[in-house]
Each structure stands twice: as structure tokens, then as C-alpha cells.
Amino acid sequence: MSSETKQILTTDGIPLEVSLKKAEKKNKIRAFLLVAPLLLFLIITYIFPIGEMFMRSVDDRMVTNMLPKTFKAMEKWENLEELPSEEVYRAFYEDYKLLVENQQHGKLGQRLNKEKNGFNTITKKLFRQIKRKKIDESASLKEQINKIHKRWRNVEFWQAIKRTAPPYTAAKYLKGVDMYLAADGSIAQVDEDRRIHRILWLRTLEIAFFVTLFCFFMGYPIAHLLATLPMKYSNLLMICVLLPFWTSLLVRTASWMILLQQQGIVNDFFVMIGLVADDNRPEMMYNKVGTYVAMTQILLPFMVLPLYSVMKTISPSLMRAGKSLGGTPFVAFWKVYFPLTIPGIGAGCLLVFILAIGYYITPALVGGASGTLISNQIAFHMKTTLDWSFASAMGLMLLTGVLVIYWIYNKLVGVDNIKLG
């Protein structure tokens, strides 16, 4: 039997297989075209800019472009413990003169000053000498430059220039974890009293972890109650969860600021029941306590809703069966009910954790100095110090952490299972 006789043909004489494949392809293209507008929009306005953040965080081409001749000449500089040759000095002088002509020399001074303290002073001195035309280009430039300031005779400053040669650097990432590239190229720790970023990372993790824990212990009982009560009561109680969920974040933060202030209602209550003295009211805002309380209340609905949607599907007869087989209510709960709610626990905890780790508004308003998180630091560098490359580096470190958690979430629960409301 030949293969042609086996083929089934459609009415217009095309083999069925080919025809089906064609239809399949057409459907694929149609589906893709529907997704394409949003996908393109997001790639252009969102995914690429995140990539740009990465470029910005490692980009160090400014100096590379400013001192091309210097770095070329420095390739031949072998003994790094000795001052470089006349050639390097001449190349640097020529590069710098060009920068002076284009009025770019200030930027270079500032950038080199970050690499080695005191650089800005000596580049400014060199600038003045050039402006006054006091440098004789036919004589030895090494001698003349060395005479301008004693730091030019210090080899460490020339090493600093050489360190800026690579167009890309991981320095911002190291700074994010309180480390830096030492003069000899090794990675070193900053002084103990200046390690602020590591404290912030740890605090962010700590707050996110405890907020998740509080949300779990508060959310589990009420999700259970909502799932087991008759509809007409549970619908009413559900409003208590959904109304905060739909209310503006700033409104909820504002209400906590009123409640927690020193003359606020919570303190009034503590005084009334005699827990604290009236003249010794504790500070509950602008510290960690405020951040914990406000964030727990704000993120609680994100714990309750996934738990509720899982608990709703658990048949009450399972608990009854457990009890009728001789388990006490506790055993029945622990061995039957609890394991069935684990998908909901995973979803709720990871959702709350992801949201808490990137929180910005609430800590900034009620956190004070000891309650601020890594996001606040990123915003600070974006808006105040304008060190955008450092802000980008910190942002991407945070993003990596979140993506790892998201990946676990996806493996455990599946992104498609996110339920809203």
C-alpha cells in the first residue's frame, strides 16, 4: 500500500493533515496578534527600562570615554608600585586639556574623587595651571605635573585612575552590601560604623517576615470563620475584609497615624486601663511598632482572601469524618483540615511577603528612622542624592530577591491561581 492512498483528502483536494496544520497556524497567529499590543507596550515601556536600570547600574563608561589616551598608555604601565612613565603623564595631560576645552573637567574630578578622596583638589590645581598656560608642553610633563601637588607624586592616585578603566563595574552592587573594591582589586568591607545598607536589608527581611507571620496568625482564624459560617453571616463579615482592601492605602495609613499618636486613642485606652501612666505615654509611631501594626492591618486582606478561597472548597464532612473515626477536634483539625489548607497558606504568605518586602509608603510615613526599609533608601537616592545608578543597583538586587520568591510561588501555587476579591 503506497503512502498516497493512506492520505485523507479534504473536499478541495488538499491533504487533511496539511489543511489542519494551516488552520492551526492561523489560530496561533490570531491568538498572538491579540496579545501583541499589550506585550509590545509592556516590553517598550516597562521591560526595556528595567534592562536599562541594569545598564545604568554597571555603566562606568564616562571616565573610559574621557581618558581614552591615558588608558591606552597605561596598558604598558607594568610595575604598579612605581609612578607611570612620561608617556602616561603626557597622555593624561592631553586628555585632560581636551576636557578643559570642552568644560568637562569638573565631572572627571568628581568621579575620580569618589574613587580616591582628595582627587578633586589636585585636578583643580592642574586645571588652573593649564588655564594660566604655565605648562611647557615641550619639557617633561611628568616633572611639571608632579610639582603641582604632592599627591600627583603618590602612586595610589594613578592606581585609582587605572581602576576606572573598565567600562563596566560592579562597584554599585558592592556598595549596596557595604563592600568596595580595594586598591589592589580585592573586595573589602567598609568600616563597621558605616555599614548602613546591610542593616537595612536585614531590617527589610525581618519586617517582611514578621508581618507575614502576624498576618498568618490573624488571617487564619478569620478565614476559617468566614469559610464555615452560613452565607448570610459570612457575607456581612466579608465586608470587614473587603472594605479595607478597597480603601486607599493613604487613608488607612492616615487612620493609623491618628490612632497611634501620643495623644491618640490607643494611648488613651492604655492609660484608661492603667497600663501606662498619663505622663509617660509610649511613642508608638515613627518607629518599628508603627510599621508593624500598620503594615499588618494593610496586608491582612491579602492573606485572608487566598486562605478563604481554599478553605471554601474543603468539605465540612471531612472534619466530621475525622472526629467520628475517633480523633479529638484538635487531632481532626491538625491531621485533616490543616494539611488541606497548605496551598492557601503558601499563596497568602508569599503574596504578603512579596508585598511587604517592597513596601514604601507606609514605612515612610509611620516608620521614622528605625522603621524605614530598603525601598525608602532607593527613593532617597532617586530623589535626594540623585545617585541613580546606585538606586538602580539596589532596585535590581531587591527585584532579584522578589523574582526568586515569585518563582517559588509559581512552582508551589501557579500564577494562574491568583484570585482577586
Partner 1 sequence: MALPSYTETRYRIWHYIYIAICTFVFFFLIAPLFVIFPLSFNAEEFLVFSEGMKNLDPDAFSLRWYKDMVYGTKNPWGLAAKNSFIIAIFATIGSIILGTLAALGLSSRHMPYKGLIMATLISPMIVPLIISGVAIFFFMAKAGLAATHTGIVLAHIILGTPFVVITVTATLSGFDHSVTRAAASLGSNPVNTFMKITLPLILPGVISGGLFAFVTSFDEVVVVLFLAGLENTTIPIQMWTGLREQLSPTILAVATCLILLSTLILVSAELLRRRSERLRGINR
Residues 332-361 that bind partner 1 (CB under 8 A): 354, 357-361
Cα distances (angstroms) measured from residue 98 to each of 93, 104, 110, 130, 388: 9, 9, 17, 11, 27
Q: Which is nearer to partner 1, 166 or 244 (CB)?
A: 244
- Mutual orientation of helices 86-101 and 105-115 as an angle, nearest 10°? 130
Q: Which is nearest to 67 in space by CA: 166, 169, 154?
A: 166
Confirm or reject binding of residue 310 to partner 1 (CB under 8 A): no
| 297 interacts with partner 1 by CB under 8 A | yes
In angstroms, give the least distance from the CB of 395 to partner 1: 4
Q: How far is CA 2 from the centre of its chain?
A: 64
Q: Does 259 bind partner 1 (CB under 8 A)?
A: yes
Shortest separation between residue 284's beta carbon and partner 1, angstroms: 13
Q: Which of residues 76-135 bind partner 1 (CB under 8 A)?
A: none
Binding of residue 246 to partner 1 (CB under 8 A): yes
Of the pair 8, 420, the CB lying nearest partner 1 is at 420
Q: Which helix (H) or strand (E) holds 189?
A: strand 187-189
SS (H, E, C) 219-237: HHHHHHHHHHCCHHHHHHH
Residue closer to partner 1 by CB (options 99, 294) is: 294
Please tell me the total number of residues recorded for the chain in this structure. 421
Q: CB under 8 A: which stretch of 96-104, 109-117, 160-168, 294-302 binds partner 1? A: 294-302
SS3 187: strand
Q: Which of positions 177-236 make contact with partner 1 (CB under 8 A)?
A: 218-219, 221-222, 225, 228-229, 231
3-state SS track over 230-262: CHHHHHHHHHHHHHHHHCCHHHHHHHHHHHHCC
CB of 178 to partner 1, least distance (A): 20
415 touches partner 1 (CB under 8 A): yes
Q: Binding of partner 1 at residue 265 (CB under 8 A)?
A: yes
Q: Are 237 and 324 in contact (CB under 8 A)?
A: no
Residue with Cβ nearer partner 1 (109 or 401): 401
Hey, which residues does 189 pair with through a beta bridge?
179
